[in-house]
Amino acid sequence: MTPDKTDFRTGVIKPVECLKEGWGLIKDQYWLVFGISLVGMLIGGAVPIVLMGPMMSGIFLCLFQRQRSQRVEFGTLFKGFDYFVQSLIVTAIKVIPLFVLLVPFYIVMMVVMFTTMPRGQTSPDKTSSFMLGIFGLEMVFFVVVMVVSILIETFFMFAFPLVVDRKLSGLDAVKLSFKAGKANLGGVLGLLLLNAALGFVGVLCCFIGVYFFLPVSFAAISVAYRRVFPDIPESLAMPPPPPASWA
């Protein structure tokens, strides 16, 4: 029986193992993968909705080449633009729940801030109370952003890799990523939380540490992806040719 490109496994993601395998995958070419990840995120962050998809696709292209023991070159990052349209669709769908959930919360926070702001001459106690309240709101907003982002990423974690590896359309990649993420919820969530915790440690190290952890995080995700979606022959991942027309 030939494998189907929409088949996936369940119960195979072990967060710590994925992290260790991810490090083992890139350690021989760490600085190359570091440069690819850093440049990819910087370019993608310049115009996130438009450029993040191709850059993420390029990063996973490089990691999949490492997994297949193929030579990785820095220029492979920009081959992510071969998947520009489909990765753009994934990005556009991904930001919808982010806006729906976070924009109203942000508006409420701003309204509360401006309606409670001291006016005129006020006592130091009132000013201090206001500043503490604003700080508290900002911390709550930060936590909400983190929780929402992790929940969204749980179901979109495999979307970009599916566009690159299985040559799926953006919409089909999102649908399949959602199914696979839901079926592997514990493992996916555990890996994302582990990456987030280690990334936070990097932030505490003068913030620059998070950049050095970035390639390991991507590598761990690529390992988790390959555990869920085993490698299949490229011919099966390609879309079928159009039917021949007969005169």
Q: pTM higher than 0.75 for the full model?
A: yes
Whether the CB-CB separation of 205 and 8 falls below 8 Å is answered with no
pLDDT over 50 (residue 20): yes
pLDDT over 60 (residue 50): yes
Whether the CB-CB separation of 222 and 63 falls below 8 Å is answered with yes
Q: Which two tokens stand for residue 116?
A: 């409670």
- Confidence (pLDDT) at 234: 56
pLDDT over 70 (residue 125): no
Q: Which two tokens stand for residue 119?
A: 């006016």
179 against 131, higher pLDDT: 179
Instruction: Calculate mean pLDDT across residues 55-63.
Output: 97
Q: Cα separation of 28 and 37, whole Å?
A: 15
The pLDDT tens digits of the residues spanning 180-194 come to: 999 999 999 999 999
